[in-house]
């Protein structure tokens, strides 16, 4: 980003998040874009059992996790170490966070 351009002046981009949790009753999204708030971003369930939310995000790198029925995870069934996964990074709790780069 050029030094003369402030992040607040950059255009945000509609960024979709999808979680595959067909049996879940509730899915929420938390990450660096919402202060890791476990309540501020609920996802909507579609007819095919996928949960989605679309957020306006400025270009940058963001970490996030889903809360599926109150349980933090990168994706249901994806709770173990993911060494070498290009979309995950370790966190201070010893688990993984998902990563998204908005361009």
Assign residue 34 the CATH number of its domain: 2.60.40.10
DSSP E strands in 1-103: the ranges are: 13-20, 27-31, 44-45, 50-57, 60-68, 71-73, 88-90, 96-102
Residue 75 lies in a domain: yes
Q: In what order do the strands lie in the sheet with 13-20?
A: 13-20, 50-57, 44-45
Residue 6 lies in a domain: no
Contact 22, 50 (CB under 8 A): yes
Residue 4 lies in a domain: no
Domain span at residue 85 reads 14-102
In the structure encoding, which two tokens stand for residue 45, read together? Answer: 């369930």
Residue 69 lies in a domain: yes
pLDDT in tens, 47-98: 998 999 999 999 999 999 999 999 998 877 665 555 667 788 888 988 889 9
Looking at the predicted structure, is the pLDDT value of residue 1 above 50?
A: no
Q: Domain total for the chain?
A: 1
User: Which pLDDT belongs to residue 8?
Assistant: 54
């Amino acid at each position: 980003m050029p030094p003369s351009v402030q992040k607040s002046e950059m255009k945000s981009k509609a960024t979709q998040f999808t979680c595959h949790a067909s049996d879940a009753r509730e899915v929420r999204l938390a990450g660096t874009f919402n202060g890791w708030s476990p309540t501020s971003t609920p996802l909507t369930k579609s007819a095919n059992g996928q949960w989605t939310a679309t957020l306006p995000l400025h270009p940058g790198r963001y970490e996030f996790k889903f809360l599926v029925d109150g349980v933090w995870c990168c994706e249901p069934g994806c709770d173990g170490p993911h060494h070498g996964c290009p979309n995950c990074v370790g966190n201070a709790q010893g688990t993984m966070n998902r990563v998204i780069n908005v361009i």
